[in-house]
Structure 1
Amino acid sequence: MTTGKNEHNIPVRSLGSEPEKPAGDAGLKTILDNLDAMVYVADFKTHELLYMNAFGYNILGDFQQGQKCWQVLQDADSPCSFCTNHLLLDSSGNATGVHVWEFQNTVNKRWYQCRDQAITWTDGRLVRLEIATDITDRKNMELALQSAQQRAEAASLQDELTQLNNRRAFFQLGGQFLKQAKRRNTPIAAIMFDLDHFKLINDTYGHEAGDAVLREVGRLLLAEVRESDIAARIGGEEFAVLLPESSQEHAMELAERLRNTLDGLKVRYKQTMLRPTASFGVAMLSPDDDRLESLLSRADEAMYLSKADGRNRVHLFPQF
């Protein structure tokens, strides 16, 4: 092993040497090298890496005299944007105590819980001491749990059959849209439609046939609406679309396009070709609407006008 001294007269080890013992204490070196955690020391001002124990050496390799901590630990070209040095000293340059945080190393992609603090080095200057414990297994379990929770939350807001928003999501998101529209004084249109004689399909061909129709309606609806719109299955065969910042003309145009596309839809179920139609109702947000239910109620009334008029039609709720 070859050793030398840097400009601060601190013993350092050269590339290829064994980890140097801190402060010349062989017993302390043995303890640090057997820790199941990475321990390193770096200069506050220059970021020069002054010490690293065997755990870190085995993971990241040896370092040369004068190398920066960000070069060895992160394989970076400049100081790390996430460096916590500024948290370890107060405005007077005094140590603030221990700062604990979690981080994914950019080199080996493993997660560490880092315990950072400013300490006085052997020559009297303040240096950064970090003890980094590998928490990858725990972190992976936490991330998997978060992902599962997010999927569960998404599933609770999605209709499994049609992949549309469900009723809960429609009213949750729609309520937010309504508040924004009232605050900004912008229009909102609502479209409601109901599949004609859907019970007859279920009674004649079975619920699997009805499910096949509903899936195709969901696919069609997702293809036709804008990303900013809220499309949902809010009942058995009942659907709704909320159109923020949309004019009456746009809403009527979309409703007629959906009606026409549905009218030409052919759903094959076993040896049968099913051809569903739907009745549509359109309504516009009124200045008096404080609840989404009021807007939907008018769209629902317009939809029943379409049913009463022979089905497979679009009606607009009368504007007075």
Structure 2
Amino acid sequence: MKVGDHMASYEMDKKNLIKVGNEIITLKKLFEVIPVSVVLINRKGEHILDSKVLLDINNSEPHALVRHKVAELSKEDANIIERDFGLFDQNKTVPAHDLAINNKTYKVVVAPLRNDSGYAFAELAVLTDITENKNTEHRLAKLNEQLKQLASRDGLTQLLNWYSYNDICNKMIGLARRENTSFSVMFIDIDHFKKVNDTYGHAAGDTVLREVADCIVENCRKTDIIGRVGGEEIAVYLPQTDCHDAITLAEKIRIYIEKEKFDAEGTLINITVSIGISNDKPYYQTIADIKKDADAAMYMAKSNGRNRIEHL
């Protein structure tokens, strides 16, 4: 029998006595009063000693877990213990890990108990309640995601803002170049939008702009990149789309908006849009390159009577 196997078999004899001044206590008694969650486990995965705090965590009676294997509660935890002893035998450090118990999260730190020969006959695990820390991390992660969303979106239309739209489109153009696929861009501008603001007020103008943006989103594909790039200007990047398909989609959007009734402070009004289109050309390297032509095509549509589509 190896030195230390007495502990592994949970034989509480005189070797388990600890002298503190004139008082003598047992290791068992020490575990009962220690104010932290601690468990001593042998190589078979059996509980040898448990602190009262640990028993409270598991809603267990005193000694209820002693001599019971961890595998009876969790096969996954049993595998972790088996891994721990494998690392101990290689003189490696066991990484801390998180453990969920009764809707709470605990950080588990373990250390080997070795005999004089260096053989790890048991492991001591200390559990620290980090539930609140984890909840805080989750709240912060959620808040960061919300802030990221706000930073990348236009507050009125919820479309991508100018910066995010440009950034994503430049990456998409790079991808199109690598994969040798086509792309197009639509530049959409609301006709006589200033008149809407002057007649019905800026609140009504905001409502109309938001509803027009919704119409565009509703008619575009999920793969299309849509951004508000100016006051009443909305740009749409169309991946894997040639000139013919881009014009078809633009016409669909133009007709849809023309037939829609928009609420301007309680008054239903008609709105039209002018759309400029430009599709992939060899010298387009960034969204700024293609935007120039799409923008010029849009102004051509306005010059030619509005509520129409032009292509460059």
* TM-score normalized by the length of structure 1: 0.82
| 1:10 alignment partner in structure 2 | 10
Moved more, 59-68 or 205-214: 59-68
| 2:107 alignment partner in structure 1 | 113
Residue correspondence of structure 1 range 63-78 to structure 2 within 5 A: 63-64=64-65, 66-72=67-73, 76=74, 78=75
Residue correspondence of structure 1 range 283-298 to structure 2 within 5 A: 283-298=278-293
Q: Alpha-carbon deviations, 1:37-62, whole Å to 9, x = none?
A: 32123334x43333321111111133
Do the aligned residues in 1 keep the contact of 2:105 with 2:131 (CA within 8 Å)? yes
| 2:22 alignment partner in structure 1 | none
Instruction: Determine which of 174, 181, 199 is the counterpart of 2:176.
Output: 181
Amino acid of the residue matched to residue 95 of structure 1? N
Do the aligned residues in 1 keep the contact of 2:70 with 2:78 (CA within 8 Å)? no
Residue correspondence of structure 1 range 75-86 to structure 2 within 5 A: 76=74, 78-80=75-77, 83=80, 86=83
**Structure 1 CA distance for aligned equivalents of residues 253 and 79 of structure 2:** 51
Do the aligned residues in 1 keep the contact of 2:31 with 2:50 (CA within 8 Å)? no
| 2:271 alignment partner in structure 1 | 276
Q: By percentage of residues, which structure has more helix?
A: 2
Do the aligned residues in 2 keep the contact of 1:189 with 1:248 (CA within 8 Å)? yes
Do the aligned residues in 1 keep the contact of 2:188 with 2:235 (CA within 8 Å)? yes
Shift of 1:29: 4.4
The answer to whether the aligner puts 1:96 opposite 2:95 as a matched pair is: no
Amino acid of the residue matched to residue 83 of structure 2? H
Give the root-mean-square deviation of aligned CA atoms. 2.9
Change (3 A) 1:93 1:271: closer
Percent identity for Structure 1 against Structure 2: 27
**Please, which runs of 5 or more residues in structure 2 have no aligned partner?**
19-24
Do the aligned residues in 1 keep the contact of 2:112 with 2:120 (CA within 8 Å)? no
Q: How many residues align?
A: 296
Do the aligned residues in 2 keep the contact of 1:216 with 1:267 (CA within 8 Å)? yes
Moved more, 153-162 or 92-101: 92-101
Change (3 A) 1:173 1:88: farther
Do the aligned residues in 2 keep the contact of 1:88 with 1:117 (CA within 8 Å)? no
Moved more, 181-190 or 61-70: 61-70
| 2:153 alignment partner in structure 1 | 158
**Structure 2 CA distance for aligned equivalents of residues 303 and 82 of structure 1:** 65
> SS of the residue aligned with 1:227?
coil
Do the aligned residues in 1 keep the contact of 2:84 with 2:94 (CA within 8 Å)? no
| 1:17 alignment partner in structure 2 | none
| 2:212 alignment partner in structure 1 | 217
Shift of 1:82: 8.0
> SS of the residue aligned with 1:201?
helix
